[in-house]
Amino acid sequence: MIGLVASATACCLPKRSLLSDLPTAVRLGWRFVPGQILGYQLRTTHAQAEAPSVRVERWRFQVVDLVGQVATLRADLIASTDPADQAHTVATRMRLGRDGRVTPLVAPDCSAVGIGLRGCFSDHLASWMLALALPPRPVRPGDRWDDPQQTEPFVPVLPDGLEAATRSRCTLADIYRVDNGEVRVDIQTDTELRTPDGPALSAAGTATWNPVRGLLLSRRMRVSLLGAGPDPGALDLHLTFDPRPLQ
């Protein structure tokens, strides 16, 4: 728990003047409540030589069960700019721990769906972006921890039959206050899958966390595939918390 202290004069000062009032370490974790509903918007931009394509989705995550430190969430796609999404309803379930780690109930395996890979990957990308591993101990700027689960959604993107060396790490980059005095934490993420003498995939970005509310506020990631023939471009992913009421 972070204690926040404000004075009558501190409220009017620029945020960086409050550095002396910041916690030196924070404990990160979701604060789930049964029945809780969270809205997120995912913007996916395929950056390529031609005109980039953009897809925007709005997702509804509801905590349908909570046992100990693990919540079962139902994820529903409730709006999309892609006309193809109007033909079917995407609804999945996932188990997400307070520490942000996914337990076995998650999106279906996409490794053997052939031409359906793109749809399978897209349908569950928002859930994977939400699953950011958080350390069990208080952390300070500069602290690092591993997040091996972040490589899983990208493995099917590589050609079948290739063994990939994987690495995925998170770094606490900064603790700061925003204009309303709330504490924010920035976490840098860096994921790499590399095959011997073959293609490699990198995914790097930044997540912003609210440690008081126990909530992921935003996450950006750029996914690049290298050494796979003609340049396929990159995917720019941006997940943001959407506070608008959800039905």
153: pLDDT strictly greater than 80 = no
Q: Tell me whether residue 62 is exposed, middle or buried, using C-beta atoms within 10 angstroms of its C-beta: 0 to 12, 13 to 18, 19 or more.
A: middle
Q: What is the pLDDT of residues 62-106, one digit of tens each?
A: 999 999 999 999 888 888 887 766 555 667 788 899 999 887 655
pLDDT of residue 80: 85
Q: Where are the domains positioned within the chain? A: 10-241
d(Cα 169, Cα 144) in Å, to the nearest integer?
7
Q: What integer pLDDT is reported at residue 107 of this predicted model?
A: 47
Beta strands in the chain (DSSP E): 37-47, 53-67, 70-80, 91-97, 102-103, 144-146, 165-177, 183-194, 200-210, 215-226, 234-241
**What architecture (CATH level 2) is domain 10-241?**
Roll (2.30)
pTM of the model: 0.80
Q: How far is CA 58 from the centre of its chain?
A: 14
The string of pLDDT tens digits covering residues 10-53 is 333 334 434 457 788 999 999 999 999 999 999 988 876 577 78
Confidence (pLDDT) at 105:
55
State the DSSP code for 139. B
- What's the pLDDT at 60? 92
Average pLDDT along the chain = 78
Indicate the residue type of 46: H
Strand pairing partners for 20? none
> Burial, 128: exposed, middle or buried (Cβ in 10 Å; 0-12, 13-18, 19+)?
buried
Distance CA 178, CA 181 (A): 5
Per cent of the chain over pLDDT 70 is 72
Tokens representing 185 are: 């934490």
